[in-house]
């Protein structure tokens, strides 16, 4: 059982927006603005898409937007494109004993 | 740019020790922090541990009793050792770089991953 809870799957049509939630606790997501999101295509290594809740690495499209409210972080992808179809994982810092905890992952299907 | 490459045996016997190495090119392991993450087939990611520039490490509490990480600055490599492995340790193992010399700020460079089967 993953420390952070994500929906198993979400879907959307090209051009639409979707949001993936990532629910933790007051010990991880709720305590630190240290949530990151990763995109993983089949057979590939994860790619950092969002760090520190809402910051994008250089080269990541501004269609990807991160946010947080309380113990839940969210990743919103606007203007869905076929290439966005992938698995998405959230990760939160959880303090100096547990350190990094991942969500179980969400499979995004672009219809 | 910085690139990471995992290497090590693809097959390990139960109860033995899994040993993997991550070779860093285009950058120095003396800068940044370095992590290992694993992913069983069809499942999610699990953070294993982090090597600090000081040479110290921190580990996932669920694996702490079996994990050791270390670095070799002369070879610009860092390594993972996981003892007393079982079938549950079968996974793709990734090495990755922390964006900052601090935990939790994101893993911005990843190796391609290496599959380890315990059997």
Whether the per-residue pLDDT at B84 is higher than 80: the answer is yes
**What is the residue-wise DSSP string for A23-69?**
E--TTTTTT-S-EEEEEE-TTS--EEEEBTTTB--TTS-TTEEEEEE
| Contact across the interface for B106 and A97, Cβ inside 8 Å | no
> Considering only CB atoms, which chain A residues are within 8 Å of B99?
48, 51
pLDDT value of position A13: 97
Q: Could you say which DSSP state residue A98 is in?
A: H
> Considering only CB atoms, which chain A residues are within 8 Å of B104?
32, 34, 36, 92-93, 99-100
Round the CA-based radius of gyration of chain A to a whole number and report it. Answer: 13
| Distance (Å, whole) CA B36 – CA B51 | 9
pLDDT in tens, B10-31: 999 999 999 999 999 999 999 8
Straight-line distance from the first to the last Cα atom of chain B, in angstroms, rounded to the nearest whole number: 36
| Contact across the interface for B44 and A103, Cβ inside 8 Å | yes
CB A30 within 8 A of CB A79: no
pLDDT in tens, B34-57: 999 999 999 999 999 999 988 899
Q: Tell me the two tokens of residue A58.
A: 């250089």
Q: Could you say which DSSP state residue B29 is in?
A: T
- Residue in B closest to A50 by C-alpha: B106
Mean pLDDT of all residues in B101-106: 90
Q: What's the mean per-residue pLDDT of chain B?
A: 96
Report residues of chain A scoring pLDDT below 70. Answer: 1-2
């Amino acid at each position: 059982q993953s420390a952070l809870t994500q929906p198993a799957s979400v879907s959307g049509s090209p051009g639409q927006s979707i949001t993936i939630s990532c629910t933790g606790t007051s010990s991880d997501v709720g305590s630190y603005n240290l949530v990151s999101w990763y995109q993983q295509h089949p057979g590939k290594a994860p790619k950092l898409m969002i760090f520190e809740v809402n910051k994008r690495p250089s080269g990541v499209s501004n269609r990807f937007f991160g946010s947080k409210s309380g113990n839940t972080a969210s990743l919103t992808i606007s203007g869905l494109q076929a290439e966005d179809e992938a698995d998405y994982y959230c990760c939160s810092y959880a303090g100096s004993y547990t350190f990094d905890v991942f969500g179980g992952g969400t499979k995004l299907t672009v219809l | 740019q910085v690139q990471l490459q995992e290497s090590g045996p693809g097959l390990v016997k139960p109860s033995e020790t899994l040993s993997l190495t991550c070779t860093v090119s285009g950058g120095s392991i003396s800068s940044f922090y370095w992590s290992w993450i694993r992913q069983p087939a069809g499942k999610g990611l699990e953070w294993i541990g982090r090597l600090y520039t000081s040479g110290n490490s921190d580990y996932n509490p669920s694996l702490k009793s079996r994990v050791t990480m270390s670095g070799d600055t002369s070879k610009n490599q860092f390594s993972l050792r996981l003892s007393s492995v079982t079938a549950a340790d079968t996974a793709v193992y990734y090495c990755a770089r922390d964006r900052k010399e601090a935990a939790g700020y994101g893993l911005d460079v990843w190796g391609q991953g290496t599959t380890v089967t315990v059997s």
